[in-house]
Structure 1
Amino acid sequence: MENIKKIKLGSQGLAVPAIGLGTMGMTKNGEFEVYGSANEAESIATIHRSLELGSNLLDTADIYGPFDNERLIAKAIKGNRDAYIIASKFGYEITDEGTMTWAYNGTKAYVKNAIERSLKNLGTDFIDLYYLHRLDPNTPIEETVSAMAELVQEGKIGYIGLSEVSSSTIRRAHAVHPITAIETEYSLFERSVEEAGILDTLKELGIGFVAYSPLSRGFLTGNIKGADDFNENDFRKLFPKFQGEQFDKNLALVREISKLAEEKQISISQLAIAWVIAKGHIPIPGTKRIKYLEQNIAAASIELTALEMDRLEAIVPLGTKTGDRYDAFSMQAIDQ
């Protein structure tokens, strides 16, 4: 296994590679394809290659599929479980038959049910990092985290994480049991955690930050040129940043970013990932193809100078509007 720098994620003892692998796109989500069609054998080979290159952090969730993604991970890690750091998430309510109710559930009873289901689907007896995927507005965060703390005591999970939550929620949760990581969308195109002061809160409390969609759902790869680049069932079509005038504005920003990438003789995606790492965070770009995985992992060794960081942030200054990251319904689940 090659050496990727290991980073302390939070202050509770978890060490992870400087870059992880998001696996959501390796399975369909309901009727929607996630970043194009997936091939199981190719996806498993990508997971194995990631391990070879030293990136053994896999990020999944019970909602991906639902359940199919965790089951794919189980196949990939079978016989070699201890070589991987598995992160999974719960909180969108799903029946045991795999039907989404489109409610959020953080009750103690649901926490207990969700962990047993995920352990079974993942083919393991523990999950290294277990996140509440979205806040349940009808259940106090204290109840949810207290139930998760019991899972730590039972040895079913190693560390507790939360996803897409506000500073006030983080403080309340952390008072119940130490939180190891917050996972939220973060990229050159999405910096609301900075604007809201959440990253400052994490620094103060000694909590790590994991950045999902560090390539802004493909925008920061440079491969998206127009609306015709999406399949009919591509879920990104639902998101404002991929619609109308905002789409064109974002493409113009990518063209500016590409100039610096060309100067450094790296890809736009490598530049975007290197920026997240230089900010002190763990990116988990998703891919199901070895070619892109290898490019992404190579970004972990790219150094950006202070001048280059300034140039990038001058192109996309904090507060730049690039469009909401979800449709209006899903944005309601973001705890602000």
Structure 2
Amino acid sequence: MQTNEKLTFPKMGCGTWAWGNRLLWGYDESMDQELQNVFNLCVANGVTLFDTGDSYGTGKLNGRSEMLLGEFSQAYAGANQDNICIATKLAAYPWRWSRKAMISACAGSAQRLGKNVDLVQMHWSTANYFPWQEWGLLDGLADLYEQGKVKGVGLSNYGPKRLKKVHKKLSDRGVPLTTLQVQYSLLSTYPVTELGLKEVCDELGIKLIAYSPLALGILTGKYSEKGSFPKGIRSILFKQILPGIRPLLLCLEAVAKSRNKTLSQVAINWCICKGTIPIPGAKNQAQAEQNIGALGWELDSGEVAELDKAAGNTDKKMVQNIFQTQ
């Protein structure tokens, strides 16, 4: 018997992809209390959607991101406690071939979380390399919904053509497709402006989730062409992109100054004004406070138009996810 509860979403969520990356590089247990504080701060301020994945924290840290979120949600007691929604993405690993594989994967996530997954998502489509593998995995997600083990089913990195096919497949089984998660920001408008995903999602009743709304930190104003760069591969990316986005950053600065907000808050609010649910990452309380400051107000149509124009005129864009389909 189906026992699904209604799945609702706040205006903004927290993407634990940032935590997941941190878990892979330099993580130690001393971070746990800081991350618990971040979680508590977010929930207390009405940010109750938390997105993670079963591939965040691998090897020795197998599933550590999910385990932490489970611990944090169980330890939290306060405002909005009953509204906490934990979404996880199940990876389409090559060894996952069947619906049973996804049911088993979700059971593993639930065990690490200490509770059932609220929103289960396909982490990426295999359409670009093994399209036939995908259908069995999607059947597994539908099975989970029909069995009442999850409240909703979502996708990640799907384009409109593939989205419509999956939507029909799930609809034929009476399973609603709740969300679609794509890389979306002022530096990554491709999914909306070129693929037209927002219109398709609106037509199908699907919520569009924007991951990396701050473009890995480029839109925070923390970095400049002549300043310091982050460590690792991001340094190479930032050196390539920053010189070509000066007009966009100047526009962001002007809007932020007029609103008495930060660049990050304006960039996140722009995503909200576009009808998406942004999921900025937060590794400490300062970052969480910055993100929360994007709520409770809205850019006006003129400001959105200015930012749209500046984004459209940038010489550089963020590299698209290789799994993003058409």
TM range (shorter): 0.7 to 0.9
Match of 2:71 in 1: 75
Tell me the alpha carbon deviations over residues 203-250 of structure 1, each in whole angstroms, 9 at most, x when there is no partner: 11111101111111111110112473312xx45246x4x243x33213
Structure 1 CA distance for aligned equivalents of residues 199 and 250 of structure 2: 31
Structure 1 CA distance for aligned equivalents of residues 89 and 97 of structure 2: 11
Pick from 117, 121, 129 the counterpart of residue 127 of structure 1: 117
Is the CA contact (8 Å cut-off) linking 1:89 and 1:130 kept in structure 2? Answer: yes
CA-based RMSD: 2.5
Is the CA contact (8 Å cut-off) linking 1:127 and 1:156 kept in structure 2? Answer: yes
Tell me how far 1:280 sits from its aligned partner.
Answer: 1.1
The one-letter amino acid paired with 2:65 is N
Is the CA contact (8 Å cut-off) linking 1:87 and 1:130 kept in structure 2? Answer: yes
Q: Kindly indicate whether residue 35 of structure 2 is the aligned counterpart of residue 46 of structure 1.
A: no
Is the CA contact (8 Å cut-off) linking 2:244 and 2:315 kept in structure 1? Answer: no
The one-letter amino acid paired with 2:213 is P
Pick from 247, 251, 256 the counterpart of residue 261 of structure 1: 256
The one-letter amino acid paired with 2:229 is D
The one-letter amino acid paired with 2:106 is I
Show structure 2 runs of 5+ residues with no match. Answer: 171-175
The one-letter amino acid paired with 1:76 is F
Pick from 183, 186, 189 the counterpart of residue 185 of structure 1: 183
The one-letter amino acid paired with 1:19 is M
Cα distance, 1:33–1:189 mapped onto 2, change above 3 Å: farther
Show structure 1 runs of 5+ residues with no match. Answer: 1-11, 94-102
Tell me how far 1:287 sits from its aligned partner.
Answer: 0.6
Match of 2:317 in 1: 323
Q: Kindly indicate whether residue 190 of structure 2 is the aligned counterpart of residue 199 of structure 1.
A: no
Equivalent residues in 2 for 1:295-306, closer than 5 Å: 295-306=290-301
Tell me how far 1:314 sits from its aligned partner.
Answer: 1.6
Is the CA contact (8 Å cut-off) linking 2:23 and 2:57 kept in structure 1? Answer: yes
Structure 1 CA distance for aligned equivalents of residues 97 and 149 of structure 2: 17
**Worse overlay, 151-160 or 132-141:** 132-141
Cα distance, 1:192–1:105 mapped onto 2, change above 3 Å: farther
For residue 157 of structure 1, give the secondary structure of its aligned residue in structure 2.
coil
Q: Kindly indicate whether residue 143 of structure 2 is the aligned counterpart of residue 147 of structure 1.
A: no
The one-letter amino acid paired with 2:230 is F
Match of 1:228 in 2: 228
Tell me how far 1:281 sits from its aligned partner.
Answer: 1.1
Tell me how far 1:320 sits from its aligned partner.
Answer: 4.5
**Worse overlay, 21-30 or 131-140:** 21-30
Is the CA contact (8 Å cut-off) linking 1:58 and 1:87 kept in structure 2? Answer: yes
TM-score normalised by the chain length of structure 2: 0.85
Is the CA contact (8 Å cut-off) linking 1:106 and 1:135 kept in structure 2? Answer: no
Match of 1:96 in 2: none
Q: Kindly indicate whether residue 84 of structure 2 is the aligned counterpart of residue 89 of structure 1.
A: no
Structure 1 CA distance for aligned equivalents of residues 189 and 99 of structure 2: 32
For residue 16 of structure 1, give the secondary structure of its aligned residue in structure 2.
coil
Match of 2:173 in 1: none
For residue 183 of structure 1, give the secondary structure of its aligned residue in structure 2.
strand
For residue 17 of structure 1, give the secondary structure of its aligned residue in structure 2.
coil
For residue 72 of structure 2, give the secondary structure of its aligned residue in structure 1.
helix
Is the CA contact (8 Å cut-off) linking 2:124 and 2:158 kept in structure 1? Answer: yes
Identical aligned residues as a percent = 27
Q: State the number of aligned residues.
A: 303
Structure 1 CA distance for aligned equivalents of residues 285 and 23 of structure 2: 25
Structure 2 CA distance for aligned equivalents of residues 323 and 223 of structure 1: 18
**Worse overlay, 160-169 or 70-79:** 70-79
Q: Kindly indicate whether residue 312 of structure 2 is the aligned counterpart of residue 312 of structure 1.
A: no
Equivalent residues in 2 for 1:263-302, closer than 5 Å: 263-302=258-297
Structure 1 CA distance for aligned equivalents of residues 319 and 25 of structure 2: 17
TM-score normalised by the chain length of structure 1: 0.82
Structure 2 CA distance for aligned equivalents of residues 191 and 183 of structure 1: 13
Match of 1:100 in 2: none
Pick from 94, 99, 103 the counterpart of residue 108 of structure 1: 99
Match of 2:158 in 1: 165
Is the CA contact (8 Å cut-off) linking 2:215 and 2:318 kept in structure 1? Answer: no
**Worse overlay, 211-220 or 290-299:** 290-299
Cα distance, 1:252–1:302 mapped onto 2, change above 3 Å: same
Match of 1:209 in 2: 208
